Each structure stands twice: as C-alpha cells, then as structure tokens.
Amino acid sequence: MDISKVGVCGAGLMGHGIAQVSAQAGYEVVLRDCDQERLDKGIGKIDKQLARAVEKGRMEQADADGVRGRITGTLEAGPFADCDLVIEAITEDLAMKLELWRELDGVVKQEGIFATNTSSLAVIDQAAATGRPDRFLGLHFFNPAQVMPLLEVVQTVTTAEDTLATGFSFGERVGKLTVHAKDKTGFIVNRLLVPFMLDAIRAYEEGAGSIEQIDAAMKAGANHPMGPFTLLDFVGLDTTKAIADIMFDEYRERRFAAPPTLRKMVSAGWYGRKSGKGFYDYSGEKPLPVELGL
C-alpha cells in the first residue's frame, strides 16, 4: 500500500521524533496529543531540532520549512480520517492504548494501517481490539527517533504480509535499518537491554558502586556510549518501570522485575531527564548524581 499521510498519536519523547522523521521523508504528518501543553512542547522540540540542523549546515532553510510545513498539530481524532498509516506513541499503558485504538478504528479510513510503538506490550492485544487486526503491526523506534538507526518491524499472528511489507518500506523510506521481530514481549532489543538496566539499579542497591562509578565503568569497560543510569534517565524512569512491570508479568523472571529504588523514584515523580531529576539532577549546568536515600 502507498503511504502519503501519517498520523502520530502522542507528542512526547518518541512521538515528536517519529513525526519529524516521517515529515523529513516527505510524508504529510498529523501529530496528536491529548494535552495542549505537551503538544506544544513536542512541536517546539521539532522546531529546535530543525533550527539546529540548519545552523550546523545539515539542512537548507527551505527544506526545514518544508518539513515543518508538512506537520500539523491537533488534539482531535478527526484529522486522522484520511491517514494511510497511524503510529501510536502514547503512554505505555494497555488500557489507554486500547481506548485510543477503539476511537481511531471508527475514524480512520478502512484501508488505513495501524502501528504501535510499544516497547513491551504484546502487539496482538492491541490488534485484536480493532476491526483491522490484519492491518496492524508494531513499528518500534528507538530514542531519539531522529538519530537512532534501528526500527524493529513487528509481525504479530494476525499481521497480513502486505501490511508487513508496507511497514518495511515505510521504515526504509524514513532512513532506518529495519529488523523483523516477532511479537515477543520486549521484541529483540528491550528483551536484552531492560534486564541490563534493571541489573545496574540492583548493583547500585547492593553497593557494587555509585551511580557515577557504574556509569563510568560501563562506558570505559564495555565501550557503551552512555552508562546505564544516564540511559535510564534518558528513556524515562516511568516508562522503564511500566516496561519492567509488563515484562515481569509476561515472563515471571526476576531479571525483569522493577527494583524497589526504581519504584520509589517513580512514586516521587523523578522520571529522569524529562522531569529534570532521576538518577541525575539536571537543574544545573551539568548533570549531578542524586543522593538516593531510598
């Protein structure tokens, strides 16, 4: 199926990036959030990224204007009616996602394809809640979507071959390396990465090292571009906890269980970079590790 208009639901960390890469690939994009402030923040981030690309000579001003001109923000479902592809990147909560799909199923044209950017929920649980389970797949981007090269294209039992093919051609057009993944909770990357990040928290709880020491050790010793605590703050601690809870529920293995420190930080509203505080405090010039007396 040919795609010309893409709808993105959720203008947070992931959604704004997915909207931007889609517009950069020439698609017309409608970006929706349920909260005006968050929608404005998401679009503001796109403006900033485009301005930086022009400043650094990576993009011509006319091209940046073209990209921005292809993105329309909305709080409504109506503008999704003629979307060929809808990607949801809302909060990692199955009940919220199901409510959204039920609404969109009644609005978006019948041939439109639905995709979830979920990190850990089973794609089938969302697909089965719509009247188009054959036109439903997972398109799992990585953070930041503008930079990270991978796209996991997730096939669930109901995904039709031409839907899958459309997912791959969309991914290639937005410049990603596409990898076929099965509908196994966590797909490929999070299945391996989430237990690693949770284990870093457990190592800290057990006194193996401080936040800074563990980060420095994994950067220099394993050649990771950032340490696990920097990465956790980047992903968002609320999102990480939601992912861990879902994966633990699915696999019932300790390696997927959210450690107490993570649970308490989320209760305190310390979500990482996006809230200004997580394992590091981002209020000063440079991030400083937080003293966690939890």
Ligand X SMILES: NC(=O)c1ccc[n+]([C@@H]2O[C@H](COP(=O)([O-])OP(=O)(O)OC[C@H]3O[C@@H](n4cnc5c(N)ncnc54)[C@H](O)[C@@H]3O)[C@@H](O)[C@H]2O)c1
Tokens 């796209």 locate to 151
Q: Is 6 in the site for ligand X (CB under 6 A)?
A: no
Judged by CB under 6 A, which of 1, 38, 224, 290 binds ligand X?
38
Among the listed residues 22, 117, 119, 120, the single catalytic one is 119
**Based on C-alpha coordinates, what's the Rg of the chain?**
19
Stretch in the footprint of ligand X (CB under 6 A) among 141-149, 162-170, 216-224, 284-292: 141-149
Of 255, 136, 135, 125, nearest in space to 190 by CA: 255
Report the alpha-carbon distance of residue 156 to residue 134 in Å, rounded. Answer: 9
How many residues sit in the footprint of ligand X (CB under 6 A)?
28
4 is catalytic: no
Residue spans of alpha helices (H) in 58-145:
61-69, 94-105, 123-127
Q: Does 20 bind ligand X (CB under 6 A)?
A: no
* CB 280, min distance to ligand X, A: 16
Residue 140 designated active-site: yes
Nearer to ligand X, 12 or 59 (CB): 12
Binding to ligand X by residue 119, rule CB under 6 A?
Answer: yes
CB under 8 Å to 137, separation ≥6 — which residues? Answer: 113, 114, 115, 123, 127, 153, 154, 155, 156, 159, 163, 164, 167
Strands, DSSP E only, in 75-184? Answer: 85-88, 113-116, 136-141, 150-155, 177-182
Catalytic site residue 283?
no
Instruction: Examine residue 9 and tell whether it contacts ligand X (CB under 6 A).
Output: yes
Q: Which residue's Cβ lies closest to ligand X?
A: 12
Other CB atoms closer than 10 Å to residue 284's CB: what's the count? 8
Give me the least distance between CB of 91 and ligand X, in Å please.
5
The residues carrying an active-site annotation are: 119, 140, 152, 190
Binding site for ligand X (CB under 6 A): 9-15, 32-35, 38, 89-92, 96, 100, 117-119, 141-143, 235-236, 239, 243
